[in-house]
Chain A
């Protein structure tokens, strides 16, 4: 498989009055053609900042991408491109679906024109030609009666329909990479299921690589090929979907998996819960960022940050428990299919 995106040592910080908030602290990952990579983590862990810095759409200042950070789209280095060159990439090669379909559409523009906008800019076709294509596109994303719909404004669309329109905008120029930032968080479960199915089927049809940013492990289980778990601006574990769900190695991944009630768990039993809150990224801790909340914390965890240990070829975890001298801890996975333990 071909690597289509390669992010190397991405560091992003925000200048605030209180100091420098190091939101993303040295993130490395890659994306293969046609695959779905999920970035999972709690709010404030840097997952949205990571995805927005790939497109360079964070306002700068206050956001600052460090000089030694590199983002390769095939053989081009995105952080070194000029703003004008970046414009050519956004929407045509990499596009993004935002979290909130209620606020990310322009309320004063007709839906048809909003979708046609990027086609007119990137492909240089006329408005009339573009609008013809928009009709097909809307049909593809499952909006009934598209000829009438393109003349409507966003407020005439429901939440699910707006998210479909957002997807149509993102796919208008047939991008190689689609970044979906919490695409279903604002939607109801039945609509969420519709939208996730739509993204899945379109991905198959168009062979687009998808970066799915979310905090919902259920959604991830359904669609992701590979998963990376982020905590306090760093990746703590990465692996394919089965590695993360059935053979997780990092205590934070364990905590995330254990704190969701499964339909099989006993009612009113105590749920596993993490104590405390994530660290303050104005002064990130010296050792492992998770040490303060980790129940397996050892002395070294507070002093030195752990490096990645390779468990298999693509399963990595950054935790001192992976060290040969560390105690082994058994983690059991509850499963519907039964008997799946690590």
Chain B
């Protein structure tokens, strides 16, 4: 097997939003990780933890406040429009809400081919051929191309979103909660499709979601975020078998399992309170206010992410 190559490198990425005078919303505050070629990196966390902002900043949809994102050795940020266009050919995103992310006044064919037109990749007959290829790939019919988004169900719309992302043959796709708006049986369809496409086309995914069992299913490695920080990053098996960070442990124990005997007997680590505001956060560990194993230094010193076991990174003063 070939040595795994780094496709995307994220270094100390920060994205702050200004909200009112002297108030900074630190959505992403110093996150570093690598995404290897051909793997799926899952990103989980509660709402407001910065996972979507992180995905969008990596794509270059937001300008980073600080830090670096490199794709195949090239920096994503701080480029001229023309260079950026070249770079975005290789990176695509699938959005969360299949109801809001498709233009209702464009036909499905035009939606799918928008990227192709922008990059001027195919014209005329070749464009139609490519469009039909894409529709086949995601399991839609050729005649769907002339219809409008409102004629489709949620699962079908998400397929259109996937076809659009695949149109320009990207290598890297950010999947921003692609299944959270769908029903259980439809979720399985879309996840199967994503896995199958990855094998077929050798894609690399950054899979953002809050459904922990789905993330485990699709990901090779999983990163857990809390209030703009990455608190734990490791292989998906070891994260679920042996979570080290107290937040990850609580998060995993909160997943309701569809098995009455198991879920009624298991011990749950109850988290009190709620996720604090990311506006002007305090020093120290962000999780300190809710952590059951909090120490004195947690309030003063921000823990750095370090490798505790092989390929198991944790940001916690306990280790």
Residues of A within 8 A of B (CB): 42-43, 158, 160-161, 188-194, 196-197, 215-222, 224, 241-242, 245, 255-257, 259-263, 265, 267-268, 270-275, 277, 335-337, 340
Bound CA–CA A335/B260 (angstroms): 10
- Contact among A271, A274, A277 for B191, CB-based, below 8 A: A271
Interface check B256, CB cutoff 8 A? yes
Pairs A–B under 8 Å by Cβ, sample size 10: A158-B274, A190-B250, A192-B254, A193-B270, A218-B255, A221-B258, A261-B214, A263-B213, A267-B218, A274-B188
Q: Counting chain B CB atoms within 10 Å of each CB, which of A42, A222, A242, A257 scores highest?
A: A222
Bound CA–CA A261/B270 (angstroms): 24
Given the known inter-chain contacts A255-B185, A263-B216, A267-B217, please indicate yes or no for A245 contacting B254, CB distance below 8 A.
Answer: no
B256 touches A216 (CB 8 A): yes
Task: State the 8 A-B residue pairs at the shortest beta-carbon distance, nearest first.
Answer: A218-B256, A273-B188, A217-B258, A259-B188, A261-B217, A188-B46, A336-B262, A193-B254
Interface check B34, CB cutoff 8 A? no
- List residues of chain B with CB within 8 A of the CB of A192: 254, 256
Q: Closest CB-CB distance, A294 to chain B, in whole Å?
A: 12
For A187, the closest partner residue in chain B by CB is: B47
B258 touches A188 (CB 8 A): no
Extra pairs beyond A217-B258, A277-B155 (19, CB < 8 Å): A42-B184, A42-B186, A43-B183, A189-B212, A189-B251, A190-B250, A190-B254, A197-B270, A215-B184, A259-B185, A260-B184, A260-B188, A260-B258, A261-B213, A262-B213, A267-B237, A274-B189, A336-B261, A337-B261
Bound CA–CA A100/B78 (angstroms): 41
- List residues of chain A with CB within 8 A of the CB of B187: 259
Q: Is the interface of B mostly helix, strand, loop or mixed?
A: helix
Bound CA–CA A13/B275 (angstroms): 42
- List residues of chain B with CB within 8 A of the CB of A257: 258
Q: Closest CB-CB distance, A66 to chain B, in whole Å?
A: 27
A220 touches B258 (CB 8 A): yes
Bound CA–CA A255/B258 (angstroms): 13
Q: Closest CB-CB distance, A193 to chain B, in whole Å?
A: 4
- Contact among B184, B186, B217, B255 for A189, CB-based, below 8 A: B255
Given the known inter-chain contacts A190-B46, A193-B270, A262-B258, please indicate yes or no for A222 contacting B264, CB distance below 8 A.
Answer: yes
Bound CA–CA A271/B185 (angstroms): 10
- List residues of chain B with CB within 8 A of the CB of A190: 46, 250-251, 254, 271
Q: Counting chain A CB atoms within 10 Å of each CB, which of B155, B212, B274 scores highest?
A: B274
- List residues of chain B with CB within 8 A of the CB of A189: 46, 210, 212, 251, 254-256
A271 touches B217 (CB 8 A): yes
Interface check B263, CB cutoff 8 A? yes
For B220, the closest partner residue in chain A by CB is: A267
Given the known inter-chain contacts A158-B274, A267-B217, A270-B192, please indicate yes or no for A336 contacting B254, CB distance below 8 A.
Answer: no
- List residues of chain A with CB within 8 A of the CB of B47: 188
A267 touches B236 (CB 8 A): yes
- List residues of chain A with CB within 8 A of the CB of B250: 190
A42 touches B185 (CB 8 A): yes
Bound CA–CA A160/B273 (angstroms): 9
Bound CA–CA A262/B212 (angstroms): 10
- List residues of chain B with CB within 8 A of the CB of A263: 213, 216, 240, 255, 257
- List residues of chain B with CB within 8 A of the CB of A188: 46-47, 210, 275
B259 touches A221 (CB 8 A): yes
B262 touches A337 (CB 8 A): yes
Given the known inter-chain contacts A42-B183, A222-B260, A337-B262, please indicate yes or no for A267 contacting B255, CB distance below 8 A.
Answer: no
Interface check B300, CB cutoff 8 A? no
Q: Closest CB-CB distance, A163 to chain B, in whole Å?
A: 11
Bound CA–CA A336/B264 (angstroms): 12
- List residues of chain B with CB within 8 A of the CB of A273: 185-186, 188-189, 192
Q: Closest CB-CB distance, A98 to chain B, in whole Å?
A: 19
B210 touches A218 (CB 8 A): no
- List residues of chain A with CB within 8 A of the CB of B210: 188-189
Bound CA–CA A196/B270 (angstroms): 12
Q: Counting chain A CB atoms within 10 Å of each CB, which of B46, B155, B214, B263 scores highest?
A: B263
Interface check B74, CB cutoff 8 A? no
Bound CA–CA A134/B205 (angstroms): 49
Interface check B84, CB cutoff 8 A? no
Q: Closest CB-CB distance, A123 to chain B, in whole Å?
A: 32
A218 touches B263 (CB 8 A): yes
Bound CA–CA A242/B264 (angstroms): 12
For A333, the closest partner residue in chain B by CB is: B259
Interface positions of B from 181 to 219, Cβ below 8 Å from A: 183-189, 191-192, 195-196, 210, 212-214, 216-219
Interface check B268, CB cutoff 8 A? yes
Interface check B289, CB cutoff 8 A? no
Q: Counting chain A CB atoms within 10 Å of each CB, which of B46, B155, B187, B188 scores highest?
A: B188
Interface positions of B from 210 to 233, Cβ below 8 Å from A: 210, 212-214, 216-220
For A225, the closest partner residue in chain B by CB is: B260
For B262, the closest partner residue in chain A by CB is: A336
- List residues of chain A with CB within 8 A of the CB of B218: 267-268
A270 touches B256 (CB 8 A): no
B271 touches A222 (CB 8 A): no
For A216, the closest partner residue in chain B by CB is: B256
B191 touches A245 (CB 8 A): no
Bound CA–CA A208/B213 (angstroms): 32
For B218, the closest partner residue in chain A by CB is: A268
Q: Closest CB-CB distance, B180 to chain A, in whole Å?
A: 10
B185 touches A222 (CB 8 A): no
Q: Closest CB-CB distance, B153 to chain A, in whole Å?
A: 5
Q: Closest CB-CB distance, A270 to chain B, in whole Å?
A: 5
Bound CA–CA A221/B260 (angstroms): 4
A221 touches B188 (CB 8 A): no
Q: Closest CB-CB distance, B255 to chain A, in whole Å?
A: 6
Q: Counting chain B CB atoms within 10 Å of each CB, which of A189, A259, A270 scores highest?
A: A189
Bound CA–CA A193/B254 (angstroms): 6
